Amino acid sequence: MNELKALLQKDDPFLRPSRLGSHNFPGIWTAMMPRELFGLRIPEERRATCMNCPKASYEGYRADYRCCTYHPRVANFLLGLASETAVGDRVLDNLLDRGMLIPEGMHYAPAQWVDYLDDLQKDAFGRSEKVLCPNLDQSTGYCNIHAFRNSVCSTFFCYKDHGDAGDGFWDQVQVLGSQVEMALGQWALQQAGFNLDQYFKAFDKLAKNIHKVSVRDGWQTEARESLWGSWLGREKELMRACAAAVVHERDNLWEIANSQPIRESVPFDKAMVKAVPKRLEDQIDPEDLEDSGGETVRPSVIWQDVMKAYWKLWDLPEGAFVVNPKVKIADNALQTTQDQYYQDKPYFIMFYPRKGSKTLDWKMGITAAQKAVLDLFVGTARELDTTLLTNPAFKALENGKNFLAEMLRRKVLVA
């Protein structure tokens, strides 16, 4: 039980957040993801202001849960690491009590997935009454496993500074992180002496009784008994043993993730999809219907897709551009909470659904130097050429090309 403790260093980077651009990510990302990721220029995502959530303020999301109205899959080794903190340890106890823990980690049961699809159907994501992440501290709105959350939670930004290009980039990073988490989770189980063959056989068997494997809050007792096998009653020990395996190989995690085939129970996955009521079938992600045919996409291949998406973030296209007629630049009156949030930005970009509309689509604070650059595009279209690049207003702006790329992706500048 204390092998993990013995392997961890004093103030271990795996137990605290790492920084990717201006965002906090789980500390283990520094070891399990490609090193080059940390050298990239990452979008700031200024509009996903979680503690002053625009979706809760303007779009009816629950103020307490906001976008945490889903049940994430959290890998065993992440939960094992989380158990080193008092609050993370309580999260594990809670997941165990609710029956949401299986050897691979926190995992929703089939009926919970159906509830999630039902929410999507009713446009209730963010407003759900039934799909609420048990890892959220309702009294503070904080995630209790923030430094150990999964790739989906870590890369979710409801609004992207770079619009569709930002979506593309974060989607690929999310896929990469999820694939690495799954590979390491299964590898760690093997290292801990857990029998993966029996585990997947148990899943195959559960497929025959798919309607009986869930209870309201998670997995039904007999289903858990068959999945945990001889580890039943020692679940936390297994989570910590998986974390210990990962910590022990901290310098080789990327290579391990690239060589570990990911296994799944095809009969169980198919049965889960088949058990979805007809009225919800449209909500199933087509990826959930894909049969991988036993092939695992290597993280190194996904990494190439991350880089392709990355270059799209910052490309400057050819052509002449002007400030979109749907945009107004206004002073920051410092009156509302959102104004105060942008108190170091004296101006706002105000984006309307159409020219002359009174309903605001979104707004974002900008500096005086950024406004001076946008002013160059007011009225007449101009090219992104040397006349622009040598203009004093443009030269005065740090990272001016990146700002232009962002304005183009967000359609503040249009052809």
Query: Contact positions toward ligand SF4, by CB under 6 A?
Result: 48-50, 53-55, 66-68, 72, 133, 135-136, 143, 145, 149, 153, 156-158
Q: How far is the CB of 37 from ligand SF4 (least distance, A)?
A: 20
CA-to-CA distance for 34 and 47, rounded, in angstroms? 27
Asked if residue 147 lies in contact with residue 16, where contact means CB atoms within 8 angstroms, the answer is yes
Tokens (6 digits) for 57: 């303020």
* CB of residue 264 to ligand SF4, shortest distance in Å: 22
Nearer to ligand SF4, 48 or 100 (CB): 48
Minimum distance of ligand SF4 from residue 167's CB (angstroms) = 13
In angstroms, give the least distance from the CB of 72 to ligand SF4.
5
Could you tell me which of 119, 103, 185 has the C-alpha nearest to residue 148?
185
Task: Return the number of the residue (54 or 185) whose C-beta is nearest ligand SF4.
Answer: 54
Nearer to ligand SF4, 53 or 243 (CB): 53
The enclosing H or E element of 20 equals strand 18-20
Exposure b/e, 139-177, CB count within 10 A at least 16 = b: eebebbbbbbbbbbbbbbbbbbbbbebbebbbebbbbbb
Q: Which is nearer to ligand SF4, 143 or 374 (CB)?
A: 143
Give the phi and the psi of residue 73 in degrees, each rounded to 5.
-90, 120
Q: In whole angstroms, how close is the CB of 117 to ligand SF4 at the nearest point?
A: 17
Closer of 153 and 309 to ligand SF4 (Cβ): 153
- As measured in angstroms, the least distance from the Cβ of 88 to ligand SF4 is 11
Cβ 16 to ligand SF4, closest distance in Å?
16
Place of tokens 């570990």: 260
How big is the chain by its Cα radius of gyration, in Å? 24
What is the distance between the alpha carbons of residues 250 and 345, in angstroms, rounded to a whole number? 41
Nearer to ligand SF4, 55 or 345 (CB): 55
Residues 6+ apart with CB under 8 A from 282: 121
- Residues 6 or more apart whose Cβ sits within 8 Å of residue 160: 43, 45, 47, 48, 166, 167, 170
Looking at beta carbons only, is 72 or 105 nearer to ligand SF4?
Answer: 72
State the nearest-atom distance from the C-beta of 66 to ligand SF4, in Å: 4
Q: Which is nearer to ligand SF4, 46 or 263 (CB)?
A: 46
Instruction: Return the number of the residue (70 or 194) whose C-beta is nearest ligand SF4.
Output: 70
Closest CA relative to residue 196, chosen from 109, 295, 262: 262
Report the nearest approach of ligand SF4 to the CB of residue 78 (Å).
10
The residues, any chain, with a CB within 8 Å of residue 242's CB and separated by 6 or more, are 75, 76, 77, 80, 185, 188, 189, 191, 192
